[in-house]
Each structure stands twice: as C-alpha cells, then as structure tokens.
Amino acid sequence: MTSIKHVGVVGAGQMGRGITEVCARAGLHVTLCDVTEDRARAGLAGVADSLLKAEKRETITSEDRAHALAGVSVTADLSRLSGADLVIEAAVEDEQAKTALFRQLDEVVADPAAVLASNTSSIPIARLAAATRRPEAVVGLHFFNPVPAMPLVEVIPSLQTSKATEQRVRTFATEILGKKAVVAEDRAGFVVNSLLVPYLLAAVRMVGSGTATAEDIDTGMTAGCAHPMGPLRLADLIGLDTVAAIGEALYEEYREPLYAPPPLLRRMVESGLLGRKSGQGFFSYRAA
C-alpha cells in the first residue's frame, strides 16, 4: 500500500478549501482544481486567509503557514491531478456533475490504485463508483464544515469498495489528518445528515408556517438545548442550496416526507439566498 503524498481536491468552494487546508497543514502536496482558474485562485486565497487566522490564534507558526501554502497549487485543468495518490471530490452536490467528474477522474488519474473519494453529503457512493473502471478504489470521505475545526470524518465504503481502500482512507483521515473517523453504510445521508437534515428542514417549516421567527427558533435551540449553533444559522453555514440538495437526495432514497425540502427553502435557493456564502439566508452576513 503506497503512502499518500499528493492529494487532488476537486471543487474550491467552502469544503474544498477546508480539505485543502488540512491536507496542506499535514505536509501533503495538494492540487486544488475548480472549473475556472479564477475560482481555483479564489479558493487558494480562502485557504491563505484561514491559515493567517490560525497563525494569529497561535495554533500554527508563520513557518507552518508558509510551508502549508507552498505545498498547494491550483488549476482549472483536471489532468493536472494525474499523479495524485488520492483525489477528494468536493464539487457541487449534483449527481450528474459528480458522475461526470468521476468518469473524467478515472481517465486522468494514472495510478490504478489511486483512491477516488467523494465528500458528497448524500449521493450514494455506488453511483459514483459505477462511472469508473475502478469501483474498488472509490469511497466516500465526508468531512464536516468548517473542516479545520470539525474533528469528524465519515468513511463510506460502497458494496464494491475494497477493504484495502477503506483502510487506506481511514488511516489517512485518522493518522495523517488527525480526524476521528466513523464508518457508515452507503445509504443517502450516511449517519450525520440522516439525523441532522430532517431537523434543519423542520426548523425551515417552522419559519414558513410562522410558528416563530428564525432568531427565536435559533435561540430556542442554543439557550434551551445547549446546541452551539441554532438550526437556521447552521443551515446558512452549510449553504441552503446544499441543504436542499441533500434533502432531495434523502427523499429520493427513503420517500419519507420529513426529508422533502419545504417550499420556503426552494424559493430561497431559487432567489439566490444561499446563506453565508451569498451574504443572505435566514440571517444577513453582509457588512453593515
């Protein structure tokens, strides 16, 4: 089993940035890829910003920061991932887009034993694996947001993932990245989102039906249940488009009404109100 030294990260949004940061901080060489050079560079700027904040908090030194940044390169050309030992796909939560990406990754990543992992929140890994000629090397590796701060990673083997691949990414997550790993079966939502998303959708329904304001619902759960963040701020942090997409995938899998994205959530996404990343969701994140 070769060690993992070069990681490709596909998608330079909030998750791709966080995954890039933790891999670079672990001393790995990371190639971060997005659909345009501009998006990839914006991703790198986000990583640089986060590393600077970590240095100011004194969790890393200026040498650590410089070393981590020096290990990251950005591109809009997927073929630059050809030498990767592990690719972590963190592109938009859209099954067609991810399936197309896995087909391309299978073509460009040269080492047939290189692992192709997805950070998907809800799409069955088996469907991504079926787009490749190496289903034994395809696995789910689901990080949590913000990646540098959240200790958990879910490892999701599909029915075809080899034990060696599962063990390799588990060791990578725990020993190289220092995360806590849990293994979940290949069912939409895995462990955490199967439990979390119906709760977030219930909070959105409460706003939609006028039961309480977003502020009061969040205060209810922070002050009444000691949650560190209320459900609507958490939905804004995840991204309302991502929450809706996960709800759709869970509903498609289980056909339970509690997973169906409510109309208010759909209208907000259609209006570009995506939460923190767009500046407005249930709360405003624009500078006053």
Task: Name the active-site residue from 21, 93, 136, 154.
Answer: 154
List contacts with ligand NAD (CB under 6 A). Answer: 10-16, 33-35, 39, 90-93, 97, 101, 119-121, 142-145, 238-239, 242, 277
Is 193 marked active-site? yes
Select 48 or 212, whichever has its Cβ closest to ligand NAD. 48
Is 67 marked active-site? no
Q: In the bound complex, what is the minimum distance in angstroms from residue 236's beta carbon to ligand NAD?
A: 10
Select 41 or 67, whichever has its Cβ closest to ligand NAD. 41
14 contacts 277 by C-beta, under 8 angstroms: yes
Q: In the bound complex, what is the minimum distance in angstroms from residue 276's beta carbon to ligand NAD?
A: 10
Is 142 marked active-site? yes
Rounded distance, CA 186 to CA 189, Å? 9
Q: Tell me which residue has its CB nearest to ligand NAD.
A: 13
Q: In the bound complex, what is the minimum distance in angstroms from residue 18's beta carbon to ligand NAD?
A: 8
Q: Which residues are within 8 A (CB) of 228 and not within 5 positions of it... i.e. 6 or more apart?
A: 222
Is 119 marked active-site? no
Distances (CA, A) of 19 to 112, 176, 232, 241: 23, 13, 24, 20
Select 18 or 135, whichever has its Cβ closest to ligand NAD. 18
Task: Name the active-site residue from 50, 118, 119, 193.
Answer: 193
Task: Name the active-site residue from 50, 119, 121, 158.
Answer: 121
Beta-strand pair 152-157/180-183: parallel
Select 92 or 212, whichever has its Cβ closest to ligand NAD. 92
The neighbour count for residue 263, using CB atoms within 10 Å, is 11
Residue with tokens 């490749």: 132
β-sheet bridge partners, residue 183: 155
Backbone conformation region of residue 275, classed left if phi is above 0, alpha if psi is from -120 to 50, else beta: left
- Catalytically annotated residues: 121, 142, 154, 193
